C-alpha cells in the first residue's frame, strides 16, 4: 500500500509550516513591520496554512478501522527532532525576494519530499506533534497475524491494549480509538 500523492504532499508541506512562518518573519521590513514581498509572503502563508489545517482536520476526523491488540510498543515521538535540520536554513541570510534562494529552497524541499514519498516516512511532522499526536513503534496482532508498524496516536497505549487503526502506508497506521486492557 502506498500513500497517495496529494495526502503525502499535504503532510510534507504541513510539516514545514513553522519554517514558512520563520521565512515570513525574516521578510518583515525593519521600519514598517510588513513583509517586503507581500504577495509572495501571502501565498506562502495561505498554502502552508491550508496544508496544515487540512492535515490536522483529517487526522482528527478519521474514524473506524481494524481492531488490533498491542503486543510490543515503544515511543518514537522524539524521532521528530531529526526533522529540525531544514530549520537551520532559516538562520542563514534567506531573502524571500531572491529568486535564486527560492529556487534552491524549492529544489531542497523537492528532493526531501521525493525521498519522504519514496520511503513513506511522513510522520516526522512537528505540527502533528504539537497537536498532541505521538509516534509509536509497535508490534500488534491482526487476528492471528503478527504485524510490525508505526502507529500515530493521540492516546498513550500499552501492551495488551486494543487500538482501532487505519493503514496509511505499508508500515504506518493511525489509531482512531484506543481501549485499555488495564482495570484501574
Secondary structure (DSSP) of 57-91: HHHHH----EEEEEEEEEE-GGGGGGGGGGGGGGG
CA distance 9 to 90: 21
In a domain, 37, yes or no: yes
Name residues of the chain where pLDDT drops below 70.
1-3, 78-92, 120-124, 182-184
Range of the domain at 18: 5-179
In a domain, 49, yes or no: yes
Query: How many domains is the chain built from?
Result: 1
For residue 164, what pLDDT is reported?
94
For residue 79, what pLDDT is reported?
64
In a domain, 34, yes or no: yes
Q: How far, in Å, are 15, 92, 96, 104 from residue 27 at the CA level?
A: 20, 13, 6, 17
Residue 76: exposed, middle, or buried by beta-carbon count in 10 A (0-12, 13-18, 19+)? middle
For residue 83, what pLDDT is reported?
59
In a domain, 184, yes or no: no
For residue 144, what pLDDT is reported?
83
In a domain, 80, yes or no: yes
For residue 86, what pLDDT is reported?
63
Which stretch of DSSP H or E encloses residue 139?
A: strand 134-142
For residue 127, what pLDDT is reported?
85
In a domain, 155, yes or no: yes
In a domain, 69, yes or no: yes
CA distance 124 to 165: 19
For residue 90, what pLDDT is reported?
61
Amino acid at each position: 500500500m502506498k500513500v497517495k500523492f496529494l495526502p503525502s504532499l499535504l503532510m510534507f508541506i504541513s510539516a514545514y509550516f513553522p519554517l514558512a512562518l520563520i521565512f515570513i518573519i525574516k521578510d518583515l521590513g525593519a521600519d514598517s513591520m510588513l513583509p517586503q514581498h507581500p504577495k509572495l509572503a501571502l501565498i506562502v502563508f495561505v498554502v502552508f496554512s491550508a496544508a496544515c489545517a487540512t492535515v490536522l482536520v483529517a487526522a482528527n476526523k478519521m474514524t473506524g478501522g481494524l481492531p488490533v491488540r498491542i503486543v510490543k510498543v515503544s515511543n518514537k515521538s522524539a524521532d521528530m527532532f531529526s526533522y529540525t535540520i531544514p530549520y537551520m536554513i532559516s538562520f542563514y541570510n534567506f531573502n524571500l525576494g531572491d529568486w535564486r534562494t527560492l529556487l534552491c529552497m524549492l529544489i531542497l524541499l523537492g528532493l526531501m519530499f521525493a525521498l519522504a514519498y519514496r520511503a513513506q516516512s511522513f510522520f516526522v511532522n512537528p505540527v502533528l506533534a504539537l497537536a498532541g499526536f505521538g509516534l509509536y513503534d509497535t508490534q500488534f496482532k491482526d487476528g492471528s497475524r503478527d504485524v510490525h508498524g508505526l502507529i500515530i496516536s493521540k492516546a498513550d497505549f500499552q501492551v495488551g491494549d486494543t487500538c482501532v487503526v487505519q493503514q496509511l502506508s505499508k508500515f504506518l497506521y493511525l489509531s482512531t480509538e484506543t481501549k485499555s486492557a488495564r482495570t484501574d
